[in-house]
Amino acid sequence: MTRTQFETLVAQALDSLPAEYRALLENVVVMVEDLPQGQGSPEDMPDDENLLMGEYIGVPRTERRAFEAPPEPDRVVLYQKNIEAFAADAAIEEDRPVEEIIREEVRLTVLHELGHFFGLDESQLEDV
């Protein structure tokens, strides 16, 4: 999948959020990188469960003081090659199109990482 196609899936995942949550993402940068810094090829990893699909870098909204702006914008980073490697294995196991699994994993990863930004736990994320 090209970077442009992958970024389109990320944008669609963000667009699917309720408007009240999207409005709060004004100072959050959502970006795509190939791999986490220092990680080799996903094919060299012994287990897909150890692949980092994404991460939130910043201070959760629930831990900020009033009127205190963070020194840098919060960031959500999705790791394209790890998501693709996970999806390729899952597609074989589940006998489903890899693109379908990539779309699902991108959405789940976006929601999970934004959940960290909002200070939500996993059960609260289910409601979103």
Give the domain ranges of the chain. 3-127
Distance, CA of 81 to chain centre: 13
Residue 46, pLDDT > 70, answer: no
Task: Decide which of 63 and 15 is more confident.
Answer: 15
CB 97 within 8 Å of CB 88: no
* Selected residue with higher pLDDT from 41 and 89: 89
Give yes or no for a contact between 91 and 101, defined as CB atoms under 8 angstroms apart. yes
User: Using one digit for the tens of pLDDT, what is the confidence trace for 91-126?
Assistant: 999 999 999 999 999 999 999 999 989 887 767 767
Output the average pLDDT for the chain: 87
Hey, which CATH number is domain 3-127, 3.40.50.300, 3.30.2010.20, 3.90.1300.10, 3.50.30.30?
A: 3.30.2010.20
How far is it, in rounded angstroms, from Cα 6 to Cα 20? 25
pLDDT at position 39:
74
Report whether pLDDT(17) > 80: yes
CA distance 126 to 108: 10
Least confident range of 12-21, 47-56, 78-87: 47-56
Task: Give the Cβ contact number of residue 67 at 10 Å.
Answer: 5
CA distance 91 to 67: 46
| pLDDT computed for residue 124 by the predictor | 77
